Amino acid sequence: MNHTRHQRILDFLKQEFNPDDTIHLLAVSAAEQLHDECDLATTLKVRIALTLQEGASVNPYFDGTDLFVCMTETDIRFTKEDEWADGPPLREGSPNELALGWVSELASPIFVSPEAQEAALRGKATSADTDDCGSETRNPKE
């Protein structure tokens, strides 16, 4: 996908999910599912991680889900709502440190907020300091 398509998807998501500036997009990825040559439409599976924005700060936990959009040269809209619109999100109340990795499981991200990048780096630094059970590891020379 090219930069213009990425930007159209992001603009659409911001318009639909954040009309009052209280939702913060952490990370977004998209993968083409179907391209219909007859009507020049492309259906994309979009994975979105978002959280609440509280003033200047971002909530430390995100919700995320997969959804579908249909794009043509002149239009973008949700599609297949029966598969994703009702019910709880796929990820609910997960630490922001996991948002980038989770979104990346679908495809390379088309958008990553600075907050998601920072949280992912913080998460890597923290996991380097713990063992597989989540216990702190100590440098034997200490």
SS3 category, 87:
coil
- 63 Cβ neighbours under 8 A, 6+ residues apart: 49, 50, 51, 89, 91, 92, 93, 94
What pTM did the predictor assign?
Answer: 0.83
DSSP 8-class letter at 98: G
Residue spans of the domains in the chain: they are 3-128
Place of tokens 């300091």: 129
**pLDDT under 50 in the chain at which residues?**
130-142
Cβ atoms of 73 and 40 within 8 Å: the answer is yes
DSSP output for 29-73: EEEEEEEETTTTEEEEEEEEEEEEEETTEE-SEEEEEEEEEEE-S
Q: Check: CB of residue 63 under 8 Å from CB of residue 50.
A: yes
Sign of torsion over alpha carbons 77, 83, 87, 90: negative
DSSP 97: G
pLDDT (0 to 100) of residue 139: 37
**Res 134: pLDDT:** 44
